[in-house]
């Protein structure tokens, strides 16, 4: 499964730089179970912070990331899937994921928000 999740709800100013979550999962592959990235936008440039730990089930998604390459921020997300019919809602303005996004600096929480996400793309 490969998907991009974009914020639906208005983003608080502390999260204005967040563009999307990219999720690529290969649960059947022993060597490469997948990856998750938080993509942040800085002007015309995009940066990815890779998940250092992730747990994804049919109902929940939790991950923590490395620092963004050009900043001191790292992220944590703890959320739940709102639906299971991903193919039916991919590219539509339907909520599929809701959870708490936390922005951290040097391990300390500096911002936290409850956000809802839509799924813009879906593939295998």
State how many domains the chain has.
1
**Within 13 Å, how many C-alpha atoms sit on residue 32's CB side?**
5
pTM attached to this predicted model: 0.87
The CA distance from 68 to 22, in Å, is: 15
The C-alpha atoms of residue 86 and residue 69 are separated, in whole angstroms, by 31
For each of the chain's 124 residues, which pLDDT tens digit applies? 788 999 997 889 999 988 899 998 876 656 666 889 898 887 788 888 899 999 999 899 999 998 877 778 899 999 999 998 888 888 888 999 999 999 999 889 999 999 999 988 766 5
Query: 3-state SS of 6-66?
Result: EECCCCCHHHCCEEEEEEEECCCCCCCCEEEEEEEEECCEEEEEEEEEEEECCCEEEEEEC
Structural domain including 45 reads 2-123
């Amino acid at each position: 499964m490969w998907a991009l999740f974009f914020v639906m709800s208005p983003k608080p100013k502390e999260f204005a730089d967040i563009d999307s979550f990219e999720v690529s999962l290969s649960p059947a592959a022993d060597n490469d179970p997948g990856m998750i990235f938080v993509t942040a936008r800085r002007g015309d440039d995009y940066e990815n912070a890779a998940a250092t730990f992730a747990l994804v089930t049919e109902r929940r998604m939790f991950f923590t990331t490395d620092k963004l390459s050009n900043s001191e921020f790292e992220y944590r997300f703890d959320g739940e899937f709102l639906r299971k019919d991903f193919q039916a809602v991919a590219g539509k303005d339907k909520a599929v994921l809701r959870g708490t996004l936390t922005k951290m600096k040097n391990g300390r929480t500096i911002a936290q928000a409850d956000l809802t996400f839509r799924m813009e793309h879906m593939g295998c």
